[in-house]
Amino acid sequence: MMKILCGTSSQNLGNDLAIKMNVECVHANAKRFPDGECYVRIERDLLDREIVLVQNTHPDDNFVELLFMVDAARSLGAEKVTCIIPYLGYSRQDRRFNPGEALSAQVMLRHLESEADRLITIDLHKPEILSWVKGIPTMDLHAEPAVGRFFRDSGVDLVLAPDKGATKRAEEVGRLIGVEYDHLIKTRLSGSEVKITPSQIDAKDKSVLIVDDIISTGGTIIAATNELKRLGARSVIAACTHGLFIAGALEKLKMTCDRVVSTNTLESEVSKISVAEEIAKVI
């Protein structure tokens, strides 16, 4: 019998996944010593042979917790550990731009490969980095089906990608909702002024959904929302897989957009879309 083991970064997703799979969810006990070092204990005498471990590797503390969780699970009898990494920290650091730089994404994957028997990620910025992992099976799942289900009856008229490179995501979500899709284009009007508009479809009087893989500072989404409303959009919703929301981005977005929603790969007050179904299908 399989069990779900979740760390402190992925409590809600772990619970959702256990419900979807009709298995038990075990929560690891993790805390910090006064000197900042991590302590992990799984309060069981024995675990099942197969464990699905759900834990982010962002920020750094969560990665250390994950490594300790794997060790603790194996000490209790786990022979096969599938690591579900909802958000893989350092995954965007996939190139050396200057001599002497660490290839951080590769380092993270190398350590995960040495600890896990299978690795599953969700919406990597560049899924091709998984080709660096040679010794264990890997898979990158897509959150578009979960996003599409969530907004299917929400009254959205148009799905937009923030740039041309992300059009496929908007196309898939639009197809699932049953509405048109497009991508935004930036036109520089001057040294300091940039115009952001849909490439082809008029947003006037429409409820617009902007979808992205990651929202970090939110700057592009805020600028796009302001422009779309100036062009007559009835409402603008921002949705993403990974809601990092750094430097007060979430509050800024909430003041600009009509709604902000993310999946539960990173847990926050707006992580309303669960990707548990997508994970359960491949476990």
For the chain, the structural domain boundaries read 2-142+278-282, 145-264
Residue 192 pLDDT: 52
pLDDT value of position 201: 85
pTM of the model: 0.93
Whether residue 191 has pLDDT greater than 70 = no
At residue 188, the pLDDT reads 61
Q: How far apart are the first and last CA of the chain?
A: 13
Q: What is the pLDDT of residue 190?
A: 58
CATH number of 145-264, picked from 3.30.70.1450, 3.40.50.300, 3.40.50.2020, 2.60.120.200: 3.40.50.2020
| Confidence (pLDDT) at 165 | 87
Mean pLDDT of 180-203: 76
Tell the residue number behind the tokens 């900042």, with chain if given: 36
What is the tens place of the pLDDT at every residue in 101-119? 999 999 999 999 999 999 9
Task: Write the DSSP string, 56-122.
Answer: ---SHHHHHHHHHHHHHHHHTT--EEEEEESS-TTTT--S--STT---HHHHHHHHHHHH-SEEEEE
pLDDT tens for each residue of 206-222: 999 999 999 999 988 99
Residues with a known catalytic role = 186
Q: Rounded mean pLDDT of the chain?
A: 94
Please indicate whether the domains covering 2-142+278-282 and 145-264 agree at the CATH topology level.
yes
- Only one residue has tokens 């082809």, namely 200
Give pLDDT, residue 186.
Answer: 73
Question: Going by CATH, does the domain composed of 2-142+278-282 fall within 3.40.50.2020?
Answer: yes
pLDDT in tens, 161-174: 988 988 999 999 99
| Closest listed residue to residue 238, CA positions, set 188, 173, 193 | 173
Strands (E), 199-256: 207-215, 235-243
Over residues 60-81, the mean pLDDT reads: 97
Three-class DSSP category at 138: strand
SS3 state of residue 266: coil
Q: Is the separation of the CB atoms in 88 and 126 below 8 Å?
A: no
Average pLDDT over residues 133-148: 98
Helix (H, G, I), strand (E, B) or coil at 134: coil
Which one, of 209, 219, 269, lies nearest residue 240 by Cα? 209
